[in-house]
Chain A
Amino acid sequence: MNNLRGVYIIWYRDLLRFWRDRARLITSFAMPFLFLVIFGTGIASSVFGGVGDGGFDYIKFMYPGIIGMVVLFTSIMTGVSVVWDREFGFLKEVLVAPISRTSVAMGKALGGATIATIQGIFMLVFIPFAHVSLSVGGAFLLIALMFIFALSLTSMGLLIASRIKSMEAFQVVVQMILFPLFFVSTAMFPTQFLPSWLGTAVKFNPVSYGIDALRQVVLGAQESALFGINLFGYTTSIAADIGLVALFGLIMGTLAVRSFHTTE
């Protein structure tokens, strides 16, 4: 099983690099902290009249969105780490090795998804601040959903990486793809209050469904029902959400593998 070992070693290398780069572990807390604690508190107290007196708890609403944001950003970044490998020449070592391009893509996707899931798990330290409670079963379900979500997004990152050649282009990707995916989603606001042009755009964004699934687990069925995504008259369930995310990931993954296959 030559290719299986190839997948494993590529996955392992990504994790090894992640573990070595401990500075990144610490700085990865900075953005979610700013969003959740600073931005969240600001919005909650100025727009919704403070936190915790029976009104709409914005921080609680936003918390799954922030977990989703971390998964989204980490997934795309690690997906695009292929661009770094190209820049530093290491990609050549991988591409002349006697393993299939599919194995290379799969190893990379699994590596990126694992790292993104670990980063997502770190976000659970904010549970007390967000006034939510999570059962053990709920936590495992959440982690499983994060992983599927991350795998889809890493596949998209790989597809992008196979098309871009330089770190300059990478900045463009962040501006033109990553930020729109985050802002035009259910991360920061529920769909039902949105004007139709924005609400429709949110529904076309696969990230919306990933975050909606996380939200349903974190807030529980009752509370999250208020913010569900309405698709063709139905409010999407966790299964429907993650099914759509997986479908999106499958398409991205297939395209990425094909793109990897095209030598020259």
Chain B
Amino acid sequence: MGTIIEVEHLVKKFGDLIAVDDVSLKVEEGEIFGFLGPNGAGKTTTINILCTLMKPTSGRALLNGFDVVRQPNQVRRSLGLVFQDPSLDIKLSALQNLEFHSGVYNIPRSVSRKRIEEVLKIVDLWDRRNGVVQNFSGGMRRRLEIGRGLLHYPKVLFLDEPTLGLDPQTRFHIWQYILELRKRENITVFLTTHYMDEATVADRIAIIDNGKIIALDTPDALKRMVGGDIVTLKAENAEAAVAEIRENYNIEAQRDSEGIFFEVQNGEEFIPMLANNFKSGLQSISVRRPTLDDVFMKLTGHEIRDEAGGVAVMKKQWAMRSARGGGGRFH
């Protein structure tokens, strides 16, 4: 096991906008590495640099030992990609899409036939191999793209929001495929997502916000950063309740639309104690383990799918889009 992806001080600017701000990270072979952050945080830009579609403004990135700027062809051969947006030829059949892929990756014809059958069986599309992609559902298309990404036996599989816009059942199935594949092929999976539950399957997660990595650790270690269980309660008099909790337990509780919440060690034991001598009219109380949402909230002070921050995010995406368009070329 060695380091398969090495990123050092990566920076990407679009005009005045800094999309990726001094990102450094290492991914080990066979690892599932999650990149977690809101839309416009710089996840896709980082992936685009790693897969040679974009040049970094400064910094260095190595993939499978090859430099993404100087050795793009070796890098491209080492990676499989499932893009955020669909990238199949919908006018062709599943088989023809994979044959095209074999051609551009120069997989010898004697091997490609067998491999195409193999990946189509993995993603459960062998029976539909002659179906035109146009008639496939979103989930089937995604599966085909994942199969295609695996066809040339890449070292690293990039999954950029692989289950975006899919229903929960399909998401579950796709994750089963990915986990099974990892076990069988020992490939490294680099995934970006803004679904917290998806990120939990990763061995390590980098949380990215505004182009910067603000935390990088295992999901459990990240959750421990929150510092205990989350207690949520509703009271008749919210203000009095906050004051009471501060007085009795020296805990600074916070309020949001859901009610009052705070962190505490051993939540199950804490609740009965609190309920027994609560004076501000307790209406409901619950305890739960911290999630990555809580981690994100704690680190950034805003929620990951914070639509109030949506305007800023949209502005950012527009700026990026026009900066790219201004290049006026392929990227």
Contacts and interface: CB of A to CB of B under 8 A. Distances in A.
B148 to A, nearest CB: 8
Given A162-B330, A264-B331, A96 B51 contact: yes
B15 to A, nearest CB: 13
B91 A17 contact: yes
Interface stretch (A86-94, A127-135, A178-186, A221-229): A86-94
Contact of B53 (A20, A96, A101, A163): A96
A165 B325 contact: yes
B61 to A, nearest CB: 14
Interface of B: 51-55, 73-74, 76-77, 79, 81, 83, 85-92, 96, 99-101, 103-106, 148, 324-325, 327-331
A97 B55 CA distance: 16
A260 interface: yes
B312 to A, nearest CB: 25
A94 B329 contact: no
Given A20-B92, A264-B331, A9 B100 contact: yes
Contacts, number: 101
Nearest to B83: A92
Contacts of B85: 89, 92
B92 A16 contact: yes
25 contacts: A5-B106, A9-B103, A10-B104, A12-B103, A17-B89, A88-B86, A88-B87, A88-B89, A88-B90, A89-B85, A89-B88, A90-B87, A92-B53, A92-B81, A92-B87, A93-B87, A93-B104, A93-B148, A96-B53, A98-B104, A101-B330, A259-B330, A262-B327, A263-B55, A263-B331
A210 interface: no
B53 A262 contact: no
Interface string A79-109: 0000000001111111111111100000000
A13 B89 contact: yes
B87 A98 contact: no
A95 B330 contact: yes
